Amino acid sequence: MQRIKSFLKENTMLIVLILATIVFQILIVLNDKGSLLNPHNVSNIIAQNSFVVILATGMLLCILTGGNIDLSVGSIMALCGAVTGTLMITMKVNMYVAILVCLLVGTIIGALQAYCIAYVEIPPFIVTLGGMLMWRGVAQVILDGQTRSPFPDSYLKYFTSFLYKTDNSARLLTVTLCIAAIICILFILLEIMGRTKKIKKGYSVASMPAFLARLIVISAAILYFSYLLGNYKGYPVVLILIAVIVIVYSYFTSNTVPGRYLYAMGGNAKATRLSGVNTKKMLFFAYTNMGFLCAVAALVCIARFNSAAPSLGTGYELDAIGACFIGGASAYGGVGTVGGSVIGAIFMGVLNNGMSILGVDANRQMVAKGFVLVAAVAFDVISKRKVTTVKKQKPNKTQATA
């Protein structure tokens, strides 16, 4: 019982996401508007939110360093998109060169802002607010206010196509499910190997039923999700890109030394510095990385819209920031996970998508989204407070003696 309670507490947002999905599904079915979980729509949700997930991953690293946000991400995307569009469409430069230049531009802009933040010590809010105006302006100048399109097919196929192409739908489903099965088996094997290694070294492991439950739930989720996708066009290529980014950054934040330093400096920057950590370097890294991921998101985004417009990415910074906070990141830094931010991004995506299907008009959607953002975070804050207040009283008193 205790374990179930703590599981619920640690995964509140995942549960809220599942509940929201169910509620939308019921509403949509009742209103006879089709289904939220129909294969086509699921594929759509992925495509619509892929760049938010990418941006949220980068944003999380910034937030971890101490609640610092980056307001310039939408504008950096626009600039990267503008550069790529101009190179690829107007100047007919080789596609790979254009992609490389795009990534470089994003990284350099990120590094520039990161330098101002980490070494000149200008508050991140100011630097990125300036960046938000500046980079958008540069994008306008480069594009001369025009939109560049269309992109060559050879480029689009990387980001908008599906993994396995066939006209035979039964065969597509089989192949997709086979791939899913292979992923599941790999996942299960890795988990079992990890577990046996731990047992061999004498480390503590989760109980057998808990371990099995975990394997079954995650495998079932992968299979069900793949089943939905297989009924449409299979795995979108973008999904793989996102999966790679999420896995790499999850691993980075939770298992590596620099990842640990990010959390530590968000928790207590002074103590972290006195533990021999170069916190400036970490801050520099977080914002440079954000610039890089903006470029990646821009590549995905221009492919999806098949155009490079000066207005690209407007308002995405807020989606990314919102996703992190809905996903449980602390506004003071030091708390939050990549997985949580992904859940936050999908949550926002489901909300958008569900309301669109239900025919809620765009203005009301904004009201609902804003409300949900505050409500989700309030829920998280209150549920966490209940756990800690009881225990907290004691140290508070000793503080007085110190």
Partner 1 sequence: MAKILLEMKKITKTFPGVKALDNVNLTVEEGEIHALVGENGAGKSTLMNVLSGIYPYGSYEGDIVYNGEICNFKTIKDSERLGIIIIHQELALIPYLSIGENMFLGNEIGKKYSIDWDRTYARADELLRTVGLDENSHTLIKDIGVGKQQLVEIAKALGKNVKLLILDEPTASLNENDSRNLLNLLLEFKKQGVTSILISHKLNEVSYVADKITIIRDGATIETLVKGKDSIDEDRIVKGMVGREITDRYPKRESHIGEVTMEVSDWTVYHPLYSERKVCDKVNFNVRKGEVVGISGLMGSGRTELAKSIFGKSYGTNISGTLKINGKEVKLNTVRQAINAKLAYVTEDRKGDGLILSSPIYINNSLAKLDKISTNNVIDKDKEILVAKEYKEKLNTKCPTVMQNVENLSGGNQQKVLLAKWMFADPDIMILDEPTRGIDVGAKYEIYLIINRLVAEGKSVILISSELTEILGMSDRIYVMHEGRMIAELPVEKANQEVIMSCIMKENNKMGNGYAKN
Residues near partner 1 (CB under 8 A) are 198, 201-204, 255-258, 260, 263-264, 267-268, 270-278, 334-335, 388, 391-392, 394-395, 397-402
Which is closer to partner 1, CB of 271 or CB of 375? 271
Which is closer to partner 1, CB of 99 or CB of 282? 282
Per DSSP, the residues of 176-205 read HHHHHHHHHHHHHHHHHHHHHHHHHHT---
Q: Determine the longest span between alpha carbons in the chain, in angstroms.
A: 75
Q: For the CB of residue 389, give the shortest distance to partner 1 in the complex, in Å.
A: 11
Which is closer to partner 1, CB of 165 or CB of 281? 281
Q: 385 and 58 in contact (C-beta within 8 Å)?
A: no
Q: For the CB of residue 45, give the shortest distance to partner 1 in the complex, in Å.
A: 33
Q: For the CB of residue 338, give the shortest distance to partner 1 in the complex, in Å.
A: 16
Q: For the CB of residue 249, give the shortest distance to partner 1 in the complex, in Å.
A: 14
Radius of gyration for the chain, computed over Cα atoms and rounded to the nearest angstrom? 22
Which is closer to partner 1, CB of 168 or CB of 203? 203
Which is closer to partner 1, CB of 264 or CB of 348? 264
Q: 54 and 244 in contact (C-beta within 8 Å)?
A: no
Task: Report the DSSP beta bridge partners of residue 308.
Answer: 148
Question: Alpha-carbon distance 369 to 400, whole Å?
Answer: 42
Q: For the CB of residue 272, give the shortest distance to partner 1 in the complex, in Å.
A: 7
Residues whose CB is less than 8 angstroms from the CB of residue 179 and which lie 6 or more positions away in sequence, other chains included: 163, 226, 235
Q: For the CB of residue 260, give the shortest distance to partner 1 in the complex, in Å.
A: 6
Q: For the CB of residue 215, give the shortest distance to partner 1 in the complex, in Å.
A: 19
Which is closer to partner 1, CB of 271 or CB of 367? 271
Q: 148 and 85 in contact (C-beta within 8 Å)?
A: yes
Which is closer to partner 1, CB of 9 or CB of 92? 9
User: CA torsion 57→58→64→65, rounded to 10°?
Assistant: 170
Task: Report the DSSP beta bridge partners of residue 236.
Answer: 162
Q: For the CB of residue 371, give the shortest distance to partner 1 in the complex, in Å.
A: 28
Which is closer to partner 1, CB of 205 or CB of 220? 205
Q: For the CB of residue 119, give the shortest distance to partner 1 in the complex, in Å.
A: 15
Question: Alpha-carbon distance 194 to 216, whole Å?
Answer: 17
Neighbour count for residue 127 (Cβ, 10 Å):
23
Distance between start and end Cα atoms, the chain: 38
Sign of CA dihedral 348, 23, 220, 46: negative
Which is closer to partner 1, CB of 50 or CB of 272? 272
Q: Which residue has the tokens 């209103």?
A: 31
Peptide bond into 150 cis (omega under 30): yes
